[in-house]
């Protein structure tokens, strides 16, 4: 009976290189999937979770905090859930059982592009990376570019539902800015408006009006830079104001 000869050294090295290549390819694919679906990995810290949960009973919500504390990220994650219908098991907030029409807005066109658009879609300057924001890449049907600001998106069509017994449909997200004035906010019927940074009261009121027919929601995420403004006062009780006045 003849015994098989042991594998040669070159053969072993070739096998090792093959396994290493496969492992690197697997890591690359896992990273690609992670970047293409940040929403699946979103886990709010307690204050973010409280903000989300309040949506179950409140049409108007404010997340007011300092810089770099996750306000815009929380707003983007919630908007992505409503746009796609992909609510995680831990979700206790507002739920839409249909495709939605939403707005996301900032102070200027550039501010909207660099904050809510970036968080929702991906880096404005790198279109190849659109789909690495909170809206999963496989849910973005197509985008419509804006005209006045380089890299700014006017609207995004988002695939909603389509899992199990849920019929697939399409949501629409549009980007706005406060600088255009209240008149540019008229006419639409919406399920929700996200104000990223504090809006003027007339713009906020017009945005809220857009959601009346649907019983929709408004969320406001900002760092308080304008003091005790009319918009801030809408969300504070008399006791809150008195306590803050006492320092």
**Annotated catalytic residue: which of 197, 198, 206, 242?**
197
Angle of helix 46-53 relative to helix 71-84, nearest 10 degrees, comes to 40
Residue 167 Cα distances to 26, 117, 163, angstroms: 33, 27, 7
What is the chain's length?
Answer: 247
- For residue 195, which phi and psi values (nearest 5 degrees)? -100, 110
DSSP string, 27-50: HHHHHHHHHT-HHHH----HHHHH
Q: Is 188 a catalytic residue?
A: no
User: Is residue 37 within 8 Å of 137, Cβ to Cβ?
Assistant: yes
193 CB burial (10 A radius; 0-12, 13-18, 19+): buried
- For residue 234, which phi and psi values (nearest 5 degrees)? -60, -25
Residues acting as catalytic residues: 197
């Amino acid at each position: 009976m003849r015994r098989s000869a042991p594998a040669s050294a070159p053969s072993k090295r070739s096998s090792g290189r093959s396994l290493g290549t496969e492992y690197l390819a697997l890591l690359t694919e896992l990273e690609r999937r992670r970047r293409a679906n940040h929403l699946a990995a979103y886990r709010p810290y307690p204050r973010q979770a409280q903000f989300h949960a309040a949506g179950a009973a409140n049409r108007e919500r404010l997340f007011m905090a300092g810089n770099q504390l996750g306000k815009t990220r929380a707003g983007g994650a919630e908007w992505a859930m409503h746009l796609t219908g992909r609510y995680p098991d831990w979700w206790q907030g507002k739920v839409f059982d249909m495709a939605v029409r939403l707005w996301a807005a900032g102070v200027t066109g550039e501010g909207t592009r660099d904050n809510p658009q970036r968080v929702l879609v991906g880096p404005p300057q790198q279109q190849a990376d659109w789909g690495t924001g909170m809206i999963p890449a496989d849910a973005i049907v197509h985008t419509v570019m804006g005209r006045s600001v380089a890299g700014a998106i006017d609207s995004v069509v988002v695939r909603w539902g389509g899992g199990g017994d849920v019929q697939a449909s399409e949501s629409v997200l549009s980007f706005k800015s406060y600088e255009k004035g209240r008149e540019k906010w008229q006419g639409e019927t919406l399920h929700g408006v996200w104000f990223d940074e504090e809006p003027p009261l007339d713009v906020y009121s017009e945005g809220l009006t857009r959601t009346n027919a649907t019983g929709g929601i408004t969320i406001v995420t900002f760092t308080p830079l304008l003091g005790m403004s009319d918009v801030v006062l809408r969300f504070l009780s008399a006791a809150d104001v008195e306590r803050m006045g006492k320092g």
